[in-house]
Chain A
Amino acid sequence: MGEIRLHGRGGQGTVIAAEMLANAFVLGGKYASVFPSFGVERRGSAVMAFARYGETPIREHTRVYRPDILLMLDQSLTENPTYYEGFRHGGIIIANTKHEENIAGLSLNQKVLATVDATRIAVEETGSAVTNTCMLGAFARGTGLVRLDDLKKAMALYFKGEVLAKNLRVLERGYEELKVTTFTPQLAAPAAQLAAAVELTIAPPKDTNPFPAAWSDVDKKMITVQTGEWRFRRPELHKASCRLCGWCSVYCPAGCMQLGEDGYYHPDLAYCKGCGVCVNECPAQALKMTAEEVI
């Protein structure tokens, strides 16, 4: 049994990719199971999916904590070490990035690091930065675990017509344009003995909360979500056209178009999700959406 973890952003089709992958495994006569991560699944926020494959039925019904294979769908996540947590030494990393060296520099002890510029391929073929099918092609080549034909059949369960045709090209390009580098990993010492062999008891919980129930002190503990991390595109102001009407700040659903010292309204990029409402509403067309990342 092997374990796979997929990392992407909401809207990139991470969960669908995992499901298509499971279908491809099953079409190839194997067993597979898939979980989405469960939580804040908003467009643009970091999401995960977990997959397992094997020759016999998959019995584990848990998330994947120690993946043998990591499939990174979004370049902006690839340089953050937290997304590699639990990665098994000697495993395979397949990533959407132009900067392979940045992952190689993370000392992950991988056997295979395979990279492809999936964002560019997806945009070229489909006009959108949805990289999931490209990364499935990359997975087939980088791991050798599923046949490209089975992935094509699996994709036909989810897409039809022109969308399918375009995504099949994306899949093939992901397969063909993958750059595979192999390493000689330093494998860790044999696994520690099963916990059952160790005598232990469980300590009661530490009393970390001053309240008896689900109260919290907002002065001390206020959870803020940096929604700016979800953004694919940002609004850019062209001062020459701006009439200073402030309409953008009225319409911004996040209330983050703020009057700056220069007398113009600017988005607070820590919270701007890149929804584009301000651009849509600006009567002077002084705001324009620009891609976060130059493709």
Chain B
Amino acid sequence: MIKVLTGNKAAANGVRLARPDVVAMYPITPQTPLAEELAHFHAEGQMDCEMVEVEGEHTAMSTIMGACVAGGRVFTATSSWGLAYMNEALMYCAGLRVPAVMVDVTRETPSMRGVGGGRQDIMSIRDSGWIQIEPETCQEILDSVLMAYRLAEDPDILLPVVVAYDGFYLSHLSERVDIPDQADVDRFLAPVKNSPRPNLVSGRNLHFSPSIDGQPFAEFRYKTLQAMERVKTKIEQIEGEFAAIFGRSYGGMVDTYRAEDAEIVILTAGSCAGTARVVIDQAREDGLKVGLARIRMFRPFPREKLCQVLDGKKMVAVIDRSICLGWNCGHLFMETKAVLSDMAKPPRMLDFIDGLANTDITSDHIEKALAVAAAALKGKETAETNWLIWD
């Protein structure tokens, strides 16, 4: 069914179609209307689940963790300070390999009391063990929520997944979304009952706690790392199955656009990739060989895939919506830079920081980044990290 939905409503529809058993959310700022929409579905009888209104995000995460360990399919949503507040439970969740699914509407955290858009909040949990998917459109948000459950609950993975989409620029953007039929979703995502994963309703006497130290802890850490690596092939497989049923796919871990013969690649993530596509089309008409690499999965980081995409390129212009304090650059730049040492002939890289604290990454800004990158390729001296907001 075609509808006009905000990113938040698209996410809520994805969650509804996934048929979770327990949803626990804190409903007040910085929470988004996603929580309201889910409560609405529940009140109308469209969701057969426990809807727990908790007193804070720490409890939200603790609640869904417990429900998930008991064998259920679970969901929570948060944003900025809420993500920070659930940090302890969130680390447990990943450390214990509890396959929960969460939405984080990404925000700057301190700016505007926690409701200014940005990507700084989600970067604070990048090494927590959560798989991290970053959609570009409202449709991709809905589809990513469905794929997130498949990924999280896969017996080869068993890791929590966060679908992290841009605060305001996606969460509050309304656009045309195709809502899948429940029957098709049920074919893609089977009920969680009878899952082979260890849980507390298996009839066995099991003890489940992170309070272990030394070698056993290191062994679980090792297994977690291996599971993270397996995500890289699993996502391709899951997305293939998704495409077979719904006819949509997003390029796995790295989505590319006109990148095949490009000399300059704009590398970014999230909503501004759409604007970058428009700028790339214009620049192509002007004869500039430009393409796009959109990091769709930030954790695990698409190290191998990026090597393929960036192979033979002359310049990578990164557009970052968060800053890596202590590295004088943004996070996408820092992590992509680490991949260069895997390459025989690495491209040059420039970083462009923009869109902090709810400011807009406009097409003018992306054009400016491209102009600076093109000039640098011709030999013009340029700083490595640039801020697009200054004229």
A contact set with B: CB distance below 8 Å: 18-19, 22-23, 26, 31-36, 38, 57-63, 65, 193-206
Residues A201 and B380 in contact in the complex (CB < 8 Å), given A193-B286, A195-B364: yes
Residues A60 and B275 in contact in the complex (CB < 8 Å), given A196-B370, A200-B371: yes
A22 close to B4 (CB less than 8 A):
yes
B176 close to A202 (CB less than 8 A):
no
Q: Which 9 A-B pairs have the closest CB atoms?
A: A61-B271, A199-B375, A59-B274, A33-B175, A195-B367, A34-B174, A202-B386, A196-B370, A195-B371
Decide if B193 is an interface residue (CB 8 Å cutoff): no
Look across to chain B and name the residue whose beta carbon is closest to the beta carbon of A59: B274
B176 close to A201 (CB less than 8 A):
no
A195 close to B172 (CB less than 8 A):
no
Residues of B within 8 A of A206 (CB): 390
Task: State the main secondary structure of chain B at its contact with A.
Answer: mixed
Interface size grouping (class) on chain B: 35 or more
B275 close to A194 (CB less than 8 A):
no
Q: Which of B70-78, B235-243, B355-363 contacts A (4 or more CB under 8 A)?
A: B355-363
B390 close to A203 (CB less than 8 A):
yes
Q: Complex: how many Å from CA A205 to CA B274?
A: 27
Q: Which of B97-105, B200-208, B224-232, B277-285 contacts A (4 or more CB under 8 A)?
A: B277-285
Task: State the main secondary structure of chain A at its contact with B.
Answer: loop
Decide if B338 is an interface residue (CB 8 Å cutoff): no
B174 close to A61 (CB less than 8 A):
no
Which B95-145 residues have C-beta < 8 A from chain A? 117, 136-137
Tally A-B pairs: CB < 8 A: 121
CB distance from B270 to the nearest CB of A (A): 8
Contact of B274 among A23, A35, A36, A60 (CB under 8 A): A60
Residues of A within 8 A of B172 (CB): 35-36, 38
Q: Mark B144-174, 1 if CB is under 8 A from A, else 0.
A: 0000000000000000000000101110111
B278 close to A59 (CB less than 8 A):
yes
Decide if B334 is an interface residue (CB 8 Å cutoff): no
Decide if B345 is an interface residue (CB 8 Å cutoff): no
Between-chain CB contacts (< 8 Å), 25 pairs: A19-B4, A19-B174, A22-B175, A57-B176, A59-B277, A61-B170, A61-B271, A61-B272, A62-B361, A62-B362, A195-B371, A196-B374, A197-B371, A199-B378, A200-B371, A200-B372, A201-B372, A201-B375, A201-B380, A201-B382, A202-B368, A204-B383, A205-B387, A205-B389, A205-B390
Which B234-292 residues have C-beta < 8 A from chain A? 271-272, 274-275, 277-278, 282-283, 286, 288, 290
Contacts A59-B277, A201-B380 supplied; 20 other A-B pairs, CB < 8 Å:
A22-B174, A26-B3, A34-B4, A35-B169, A57-B176, A59-B274, A59-B275, A60-B275, A61-B170, A62-B361, A194-B283, A194-B286, A197-B288, A199-B374, A200-B371, A201-B383, A201-B386, A202-B368, A202-B390, A205-B389
A202 close to B387 (CB less than 8 A):
yes
Residues A33 and B364 in contact in the complex (CB < 8 Å), given A59-B277, A61-B274, A196-B283: no
Q: Complex: how many Å from CA A125 to CA B382?
A: 62
Residues of B within 8 A of A38 (CB): 117, 168, 172, 358
A34 close to B175 (CB less than 8 A):
yes
Decide if B2 is an interface residue (CB 8 Å cutoff): yes
Residues of B within 8 A of A57 (CB): 137, 176
CB distance from A52 to the nearest CB of B (A): 9
CB distance from A106 to the nearest CB of B (A): 25
CB distance from B274 to the nearest CB of A (A): 4
Q: Complex: how many Å from CA A165 to CA B62?
A: 48
